Structure formats: structure tokens, C-alpha cells
């Protein structure tokens, strides 16, 4: 029998980590970051908000982030 974390009956969902290339509005520099998404909690469309939260503390600033590339690691 397979054992899982206490109080659970299923394995944790798979995480996917992406290398993201992006620019911030008003900045000329291209940046990159590694972002991990967890199914059921976040998805690829959340990545601009995740990056904005890291940079400004405000996920709502996602409109200032333009994704240039997304590559699974």
C-alpha cells in the first residue's frame, strides 16, 4: 500500500516549473525568472501576476508584465 501525507488519500499534484522571459512596462531590459505553478492553485495564465507580486508586492500589477517566452524546466 502506498502511503501519502497524513490526512490525505492522494499524492500531491505535479508542479511545473517554467523559465519565463519577460519585460516590465517602461523598462528596456529583458528579464528572466523561474516560476513554479501548482495545478489547482495556479496555472500558466497566473504567471504575470506571480512575477508582478515578486517585483512590486501587488499581483494586480500583472498588466505591466509582458511575457516573451515560457519554457518548462
How many residues are given for the chain?
A: 73
Phi, psi torsion values for 56, nearest 5 degrees: -120, -15
Above 60 in pLDDT, residue 58? yes
Select from 29, 28, 33 the least CA-distant residue to 51.
33
Select from 33, 37, 13 the least CA-distant residue to 22.
33
Residue 8: Cβ within 10 Å count: 9
Stated pTM of the model: 0.78
pLDDT band of 11, cuts 50, 70, 90: low
d(CA 11, CA 47): 24
The pLDDT of 56-64, averaged and rounded, is 95
Q: Output the average pLDDT for the chain.
A: 88
The pLDDT of 31-55, averaged and rounded, is 93
Three-state DSSP class for 66? strand
Amino acid at each position: 500500500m502506498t502511503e501519502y501525507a497524513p490526512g490525505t488519500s492522494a499524492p500531491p499534484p505535479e508542479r511545473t516549473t517554467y523559465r519565463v522571459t519577460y519585460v516590465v512596462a517602461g523598462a528596456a531590459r529583458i528579464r528572466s525568472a523561474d516560476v513554479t505553478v501548482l495545478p489547482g492553485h495556479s496555472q500558466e495564465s497566473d504567471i504575470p501576476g506571480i512575477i508582478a507580486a515578486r517585483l512590486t508586492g501587488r499581483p494586480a500589477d500583472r498588466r505591466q508584465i509582458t511575457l516573451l517566452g515560457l519554457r518548462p524546466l
